[in-house]
Amino acid sequence: MTIKPPLLPAAVIWLATIFLSACATLSPYKESPRVSLVSIQPQEMRVLEQRFALQLRILNPNDVAIPINGLSYTIEINDREFAYGVSRQAVEIPAFGEALLDVEVVSNLLNVVKQLQAMQGETRNSLAYRLTGKISLTNSPVSLPFDYSDELVYLPAAKAATETVE
Asked, for residue 13, whether it belongs to a domain, the answer is no
Radius of gyration of the chain (CA): 22
Q: How far is CA 36 from CA 132, 153, 156, in A?
A: 10, 16, 25
Asked, for residue 2, whether it belongs to a domain, the answer is no
Are 150 and 129 contacting, i.e. CB atoms less than 8 angstroms apart? yes
Asked, for residue 18, whether it belongs to a domain, the answer is no
Per-residue pLDDT tens digits for 49-90: 999 999 999 999 999 999 999 999 999 988 888 899 999 999
- Number of separate domains in the chain: 1
Quote the CA–CA distance of 127 and 110 in Å, as a whole number. 19
Predicted confidence band at 159 (pLDDT cuts at 50, 70, 90)? Answer: low
Range of the structural domain that residue 77 is part of: 30-165
**H or E, element range at 84:** strand 80-87
Asked, for residue 151, whether it belongs to a domain, the answer is yes
Number of residues that make up the chain: 166
Are 148 and 130 contacting, i.e. CB atoms less than 8 angstroms apart? yes
pTM score: 0.71
CATH number at residue 113: 2.60.40.10
